[in-house]
Amino acid sequence: MLRAFSHTNGRCAFHQAKCWHHRKSVLAIRREDVNAWERRAPLAPKHVKELTQMGYKVLVQPSNRRAIHEKDYVKAGGIIQEDISEASLIVGVKRPPEDKLIPKKNYAFFSHTIKAQEANMPLLDEILRQEIRLFDYEKMVDHKGMRVVAFGKWAGVAGMINILHGLGLRFLALGHHTPFMHIGMAHNYRNSSQAVQAVRDAGYEISLGLMPKSVGPLTFVFTGTGNVSKGAQEMFNALPCEFVEPHELKEVSRSGDLKKVYGTVLSRHHHLVRKRDGLYDPADYDKHPELYTSRFNTDIAPYTTCLINGIYWEQHTPRLLSRQDAQKLLVPVKSAAGPTEGCPELPHKLLAICDISADTGGSIEFMTECTTIDSPFCMYDADQHIIHDSVEGSGILMCSIDNLPAQLPIEATEYFGDLLFPYIEEMLLSEGSEPLESQNYSSVVRDAVIASNGSLTAKYEYIQKLRESREYAQSLKMGNKKRVLLLGSGYVSGPVLEYLTRDSNIDITVASVMKEQLEQLTKKYSNVTSVHMDVIKHEEKLSTLVKKHDLVISLLPYSAHPLVAKKCIDNKVNLVTASYLTPAMKELQESVEAAGITVISEMGLDPGLDHMLAMECIDKAKEVGATVVSYTSFCGGLPAPEHSDNPLRYKFSWSPQGVLLNTVQSATYLKNGEIINIPAGGALLDSVTPMDFFPGLNLEGFPNRDSTKYAEPYGIQNAHTLLRGTLRYKGYSKTMGGFVKLGLINPDPYPLLSSTTPPLTWKELMCKLVGIKPPAEYHVLKEAVFSKLEKDKSQLEAVEWLGLLGDEPVPAADSIVGALAKHMEMKLPFGTGERDMIVMRNEIGLRHPSGHLEDKFIDLVVYGDNKGYSAMAKTVGYPTAIAAKMVLDGEIDAKGMVIPLTKNVYGPILERVRAEGIVYSTHSVIKQ
Active site residues: 606
Backbone phi, then psi, for 356, in 5-degree steps?
Answer: -65, -25
Backbone phi, then psi, for 15, in 5-degree steps?
Answer: -75, -30
Backbone phi, then psi, for 385, in 5-degree steps?
Answer: 50, 55
DSSP H or E stretch at residue 410: helix 409-428
Q: For the chain, what's the residue count?
A: 928
**Is-contact 453 105, C-beta < 8 A?**
no
Q: What is the DSSP letter of 757?
A: S
**Is-contact 801 648, C-beta < 8 A?**
no
Packing angle between helix 192-207 and helix 152-173, nearest 10 degrees?
A: 40
CA distance 166 to 183: 9
908 CB neighbour count, 10 Å cutoff: 16
Task: List, as one string, the DSSP characters of 616-681.
Answer: HHHHHHHHTT-EEEEEEEEEEEEE-GGG--STTS---SS-HHHHHHHTTS-EEEEETTEEEEE-SS
Our CA angle for 721, 727, 728, nearest 5°, is 150
Q: Which of 830, 798, 793, 794 has its CA nearest to residue 644?
A: 830
Can you give the three-state secondary structure of 146-188, one letter per residue? CECCCCHHHHHHHHHHHHHHHHHHHHHHCCCCCHHHHCCCHHH
Q: Which of 303, 44, 351, 299 has its CA nearest to residue 173?
A: 351
- Name the amino acid, one letter, at 72: D
Enumerate residues 6+ apart whose C-beta is below 8 A from 448: 135, 136, 137, 138, 139, 140, 141
Enumerate residues 6+ apart whose C-beta is below 8 A from 901: 611, 615, 713, 714
**Is-contact 171 392, C-beta < 8 A?**
no
DSSP H or E stretch at residue 826: helix 816-827
Enumerate residues 6+ apart whose C-beta is below 8 A from 714: 614, 615, 618, 628, 631, 901
Task: List, as one string, the DSSP characters of 542-600.
Answer: HHHHHHT-SEEEE-S-GGGHHHHHHHHHHHT-EEEESS---HHHHTTHHHHHHHT-EEE
How remote is the C-alpha of 89 from its chain's centroid?
40
- Provide the Cα torsion 800, 801, 803, 805; round to 10°: 0
**Is-contact 655 580, C-beta < 8 A?**
no
Packing angle between helix 762-770 and helix 816-827, nearest 10 degrees?
A: 140
Our CA angle for 872, 732, 645, nearest 5°, is 75
CA distance 535 to 599: 19
CA distance 466 to 461: 9
Our CA angle for 435, 439, 444, nearest 5°, is 120
Per-residue burial over 361-374, b if 16 or more Cβ lie within 10 Å, else e, is: ebbbbbbbebbebe
Backbone phi, then psi, for 63, in 5-degree steps?
Answer: -160, 115
Q: CA torsion sign, 281 to 286 to 288 to 294?
A: positive
- Name the amino acid, one letter, at 8: T
On the CB side of 803, CA atoms within 13 Å amount to: 12
